Amino acid sequence: MAGAYDDRDGQIWMDGKMVPWRDANVHVLTHAMHYASSVFEGERAYNGTIFKSREHSERLKKSAEMIDFDIPYTVDEIEAAKEATLKQSGLSDAYVRAVAWRGAGKDMGVASARNPVRLAIAAWEWGAYYGDAKTRGAKLDISKWKRPSPETIPSHAKAAGLYMICTMSKHAAEAKGCSDAMMFDYRGYVAEATGANVFFVKDGEVHTPTPDCFLNGITRQTVIGMLRDRQIKVVERHIDPGEMEDFQQCWLTGTAAEVTPVGQIGDYNFEVGTLTRDIADGYEKLVRD
């Protein structure tokens, strides 16, 4: 599948039925377009099976609750809809996007309790998120934007509005020839990339930021389990930016990113080492088992 995302063949599951891809549209006065009342999940299918599918569906429901709306489908119904969408796509390896939002209705202001909540699911082919960085290591800029305090936003929701500063950060990074940007948090600690969690290696131990003001990714949790199964010590803690000078290896994790080595963050350089390769290869094997 190629071309603009609004001009493709295929079908998208929308509010309980399959609709032609080009007809999967919303009204310009949809509440989510104006007030960011939207949550989503990015998932990957391997060999015809969506990895950690139910965990993603459960998180979608929880994210909606965190931004004050209820998705009118059960987890089981969302699971069935995703399976139907994947089957309809004819793809065995695919990216699956579920998105729920407050639609157009009787309210068109900040408050929107009377507007219907809608759900759509699409699937398409999508290769490596960072291209050849999976072999040579990604180059990251350091963003000027910081992940906000959880007192200001529902930081553990996978909500569309929380990605505004991520989009700006990634655009700025790409303009500098980088793959992505590393973001610090409101206290100045290392947080995450624009859409992926980060891990560092020092003297055989793995260090990763505590997800107390950003998403504790499903891939992040999976990789921590893999490391502990290998008897490798994992330290979850606040990490000062200056500590990156002493870390030897680094990688990113996320559904889209999978496990991607990092070669550079700002002025800090890392080797694409044995442990990074082992975890990347192990993750690839895990998702395809």
- Tell me which residues are annotated as active site: 158
Q: Name every residue whose Cβ is closer than 8 Å to that of residue 38 and which is 6 or more positions away in sequence.
A: 32, 99, 100, 101, 102, 159, 160, 161
End-to-end CA distance of the chain: 26
Phi, psi of 275 (to 5 degrees): -65, -45
Q: To which H or E segment does residue 250 belong?
A: strand 249-254
Distance CA 129, CA 144 (A): 23
Q: Which letter does DSSP use for residue 42 in this model?
A: E
Q: What order of strands is seen across the sheet that includes strand 94-102?
A: 17-20, 11-14, 117-124, 94-102, 38-46, 49-50
DSSP annotation of 151 reads: T
